[in-house]
Structures are given as structure tokens and as C-alpha cells.
Structure 1
Amino acid sequence: MLVGPDAGQWSRPALAPPLGETTMLSLILESPVQIEVDTLKYHRMRLISLISALYRKALITVILSCSFIATAYGHQDRYYKFKEENVLVRIRTGYEYEEVQKAEMLARMISDLAKSVTYTDNILIDFIHDYTYNRNTSDFFVSYKKSRIIQNYEDTYLSKNMNNANLIIRNLNTEVNFEEILRLVEASIQNENFIKRNQDRQEYKGGYNRWILHSLPQSQIDQMLNLSTYTSTRDVLNNRYYRKGNDTITYYYQNGLFNFVYGERRDQNVFLQAEKLFQLEEAGDIIIVAETPCNIYIRHNTEVIKIDSLKYCEGIWRKMNILTCSDNAMILNYRTGVSDTYSHSTEGINVELNFGHSSTKIVESFNCKE
């Protein structure tokens, strides 16, 4: 800085500290570099901040998308449990199938069986509903106080011994078979010590279930069943067990048959007997009984119509939808599915019923016709 009248004289401002050679050299060499470094750091931090913001936004989008997909398309099995005295029946299924009502009836049956043989220890029955026919067999497991299951899908609830039970019986099947389960319960009570001595870790690969659990080997379960007697099972099956509820239309199970009844005098008004039951529905004065998806009976007034000529009905696992067209006509719709056992798949099966002419026919859509 040039000050004073003498152009040849240099002077520093009074407030400026003297700069030595080292300091001056430092300013000359380091200041531009430091400024550049700070600038790079600033832009780098801005870039990181921008990337982070974009990542968070993308992550939120993915989470919301996954949540939507899970809500729209996801499905999770559900559990129901029924307690009767020292017996607990727990069922795992996918939808509100009639098997849930059968499981409640089963709890009463097994409780009566246990009383008849004076068995007072706790019993746990696990019914795993193979509702998609993925396995399409009846598989049993029997253990004593060992409920834990090691499996791929981490369904820890199924491993819980909910009833602090001694006898633990598991059945994976497409339907609740009363006689089959009762026989195994009675045989297990008679052979409890045999189960204690011979239960061991078993590996099971059945459909979607991949388990390691304690059970008798299947060969020894078969041996136990062959050597047992079933007096109490026969006595229980000879009794009537009504489906719970106050519905006008219901049924009771006795001697291997579902007996469908209506009205107040239920013991006298049996209008249909069937060996199996897939679905029971009531639509006004109309009663619909699906023994299986291929065997459907419709009661209208005093007339019972059987629907025949159904195609692609084997392997259907969704419950039917009902559309009432008029007092004399209705549509039943089945959605077909694909499983390891049944590979066919169509858009659905629509059955048009005309009660005035006692006729049924397969139709292409839900268009109601008089």
C-alpha cells in the first residue's frame, strides 16, 4: 500500500501485524490451496446430502410400494383355538372355511372320548389345513410334551404348547376327518409310554411345510394304530354333535354322516345327508350345501337339486360366491386355483340355477337371467 507524499516510500497500516517471511510464504503457498480444499469439501458435502436425500426418498417409495403390494396381494394364514375341558384344538387355515366349525366340534368329541377312558392329562390337537391341496394327503405326528417345530417359515406360534399338554397330535390334511383323528387320540392314550420311549426327531417335507420335529416315526404310528382298540371312538361317533350357532339351517355329525337340518324341530327335519362338507351357505330361503366343490346341492322350498356337469371343479379351494338374480334364479361362482396336485386353471365356474324348471347350466359370466 502506497502512502505519504513520497512515492518511493512503503509503509504498512498501523493495525496490520508484521508478517515474517515464513508467514508470507505460508499465505502465498497455502491460502489458494486451502480455499480450493474447502470448496471441494463443501461441494462433496452437498453431493452427499443430495444423494442421501434421494436415497431416503427412494427408500420411502419402496417401503410404501411394498406395503401396498402386501396389502393388495399378501395373504397370511390364521389360527383358531377351541378349549373343551382338558382338550385344546388349534387349527391353522387360510380363510373362513367350514373346517373351523368342525375343529370346534372335534374339541367336544375328544373331550368326551378322554372322559370315557378317564384320561385327565392335557391334550393338544394341531390341525394344519392343507386348503390349497398342495399336499393332498393326511399326515400325522404324535409326541409327548415336545411341541417345538424347526421350520423354514418361522411360524413360531405352531411350536407353542398352548395347553401345557402331555399328548401332542398334529394332522396335516385337506379336511377334518373326525374318525381318523379320534382313532389316533384313543390309540395314543393307550400307548402313551410307547410314545415317550420312541419319539425322536423327524424331518418332514410336505407341501409348503418343511419341519424338523419330535414324533413317532410313521411306521410306528401305523403299528400303534393296528394294535389298538377303538371302543370309545365308536361310542363318540354314535352321538350327535351339532354345529355351534343359532342358525335356522345347521347340521349335526353322527355315524360318519353330516345331517343337514332346518327349523326348530331339528331332529326330524333332515333334508340331506352327506359324507363330506366343504361349504354351507344360506341365501334367503335357499340352502346351498357343497359336499365337495364337485358335488353341490341346492334346497329351494322342499326341492333339493343336485348340480352336475361341473368341469374343472377338482382342486378348487376358494369358497363359492353367490349372486341372487331373482326369487327363482341365482348364480354360483367358483374361482379355480392351481396346486401341485391339480394343475388346471380357469377364470372361474359360473352355475346358473333356475328353480322353476329345476335346471342348472354352466354360464360364461355373472349376467342374471330370469
Structure 2
Amino acid sequence: MRDVLDEVAVWYGADIRFAVATVIRTWSSSPRAVGATMAVSESGEVIGSVSGGCVEGAVYDVAQEVLRTGVPQTVSYGVSDDDAFNVGLTCGGTVELFVQAIDAGVFPGLEILIDAASAQQPVATATVVDGPASLGSRLVLTQSDVTGSLGAEQLQRAVVEGTRGMLEHGTTGMLRLGRNGERRVDELSVFVESYAPPPRLVVFGAIDFAAAMARIGKFLGYRVTVCDARPIFATRARFPEADEVVVKWPHKYLDEIHVDERTVLCVLTHDPKFDIPLLELALRTSAGYIGAMGSRRTHNDRLARLREAGMTESELGRLRSPIGLDLGARTPEETAVSIAAEIISSFHGGTGRALTDTSLPIHRETLAGR
């Protein structure tokens, strides 16, 4: 529900009843990922999308029925290409959705979810979508508390444990357990949606290319930091889209912040006095993407310096340099697109080739936390 949470919060605050349809499973070329949400208010207002426009009309009708009856439903669209076409899912993929009416009585932890997500604090929901437990029963988990009940104590304990593990990695997906929480038993399906804080994009080097990267990074949903040791360049006026602008030596700043597998590090300084100590540290972090700008000559010189500093070939193999995909980019904005394309490709297993030249699935499994 992350993609509609702000609007849903307004409805909830105004005591407006609504239904939420969430994608809980996908097969083949599903146009939206697991976790995509569409909400329908009791007055008929619609927000969000579960298929990019393919099956929203059919889902709207189900949501209206759920609002009338109060009974949750699990629905699927696109079992075959013909069936898909009948409801508008012309891509031929398959989506399964869980549709449930929401109000304070059904979702007592919604306010906790809204507050935690707004404060960018980790929070997750775990909802029973199939099996012998009460359909639609739900837990809301923060780092310290659990709100809600699934009934059986053993089941609740197992779901809390599994959900906390998924929240730690920012993962959204399905837990399958026995009716009493048994592992390796497939009686009960619990859909877990993690609301991890947005991933970080740290851009080193306060240049015009960094301004373009800050803009596209925000567009892609990152928390963006621009860092440079030169105060005359690292100013808020030059980078209004960035969440923060830091004046500090890049390697010192990197040493101070938390870096995880969702973090993106873009080194745009192409100056050895900044690059080498920064990349020595960056390539030994768990960052999911590390790219450095510069010509091929600069890249070769950089590799030689890093080898002299004791970096291994395995560590150097993580470096994307020259940064970005070969799009023929020239302007800062075009270059930012090429870098963003490489970032997306690296996290989602893309090839970087034209789709017309490939036969792989268009939509890939999203890596944890993306």
C-alpha cells in the first residue's frame, strides 16, 4: 500500500471507508510488481494501479462488492492470453490480488503504519490471504512493537519472526506456514509488505552532472545526498532536488554513513585525490551499485592506483567504470539517464540491450528491498 498510503491516510483521517486491492502474486509478463495497490473509496474515487490500466475496471467492480459485503476476496486475472484479453490484460501475464474493505475496526494498526512510513521508519504488515486462519486478519510490525492478532499464539509467533526477517531486508512477498506456524507446511498464506526507508543515492562531486543525477534519483524514489569537499560548489542553491548537500571529504563522509545492499554510490569527481581514498572504502562496503565517471584513460589510471593501494581484482570487479550504459549520451541530463539505466539494470538483472533484440521476460523479479 506504499504507493497510495498518502491518499489513504487522508481517507482514514476523514473516516471514509475504502477497499484496497493489492497484487500478492504474479506470473509471466505481469505489468505491475507484487505490492502494487489500488484503492477505491465508498464514494467511488480511485487511486493507484494494479496493472497499469489493464484490469482496473474489473478490480473496481470487485472492490465495490467487497465494500458492500465486507467479505475479502482473492481474484486472479490473465490465466490465459484469451482470458487476459477479456479483462484487458493484453500483455498475457497473470496477477492475483487480495481485495479487502478497510476501516478502523478492520485495520486497527493503520495509523501506526501511516505514522511510521511518514517518518521513514521501518514498518511491515502481515495479512492472512489464504488458509484456515481468519481471512484478512493482520499484524503491523515496527522495530519494537506488534499490533494486531492472528489468533493462535504459535502462528502469531512464527509470522512475527518471518515478517521481521523480511522487513530487515526490505522484502515484500508471501510467507507460507502451517495453521500453527509450522515451517515447510503450505496450509496458510500470509502476505508481508515491507515499508523500508527509501534506498540511498549518494553522489560524490558537486558538478552539473550531479545536479542531473539528483533530479533523476528523486524521480526514481531514492533519498539523494550530494557530497563534495568544496563549499563553493556544494550548495543547496545548486542542488535543490537533493535531500541533503554535505560539505566534507567524500571518503570521510562515506565512512560515517550506513551503507547496505540497496545503496547506490556515484563517484563523479574524476579527481584522484578524491576518487582513490573514496573508492578504496566504497568497494569494501555492501553497496549494491558503485560507479565512477571518467574516460577510459582515467579508468585505467584509477585501476592502477587502486591496485597499488592493495585492492583485489574481486573488489575492483564491482566497479562500474566508465559509469553508465552506452546510450550515446552527451548532456548532463542524458548522462544521468544512462547512469540511471545502468543502476536499474544492475538491480533487476537487465541486459541493457534493446528489448527487440532479446527474448527474456520483460518484467523481472525485483531484488530485495527495491
Please, what TM-score do these two structures have when normalized by structure 1?
Answer: 0.22
Higher relative contact order at CA 8 Å, sep ≥6: structure 1 or structure 2?
Answer: 2
Task: Tell which structure's C-alpha radius of gyration is larger.
Answer: 1
Please, what TM-score do these two structures have when normalized by structure 2?
Answer: 0.22
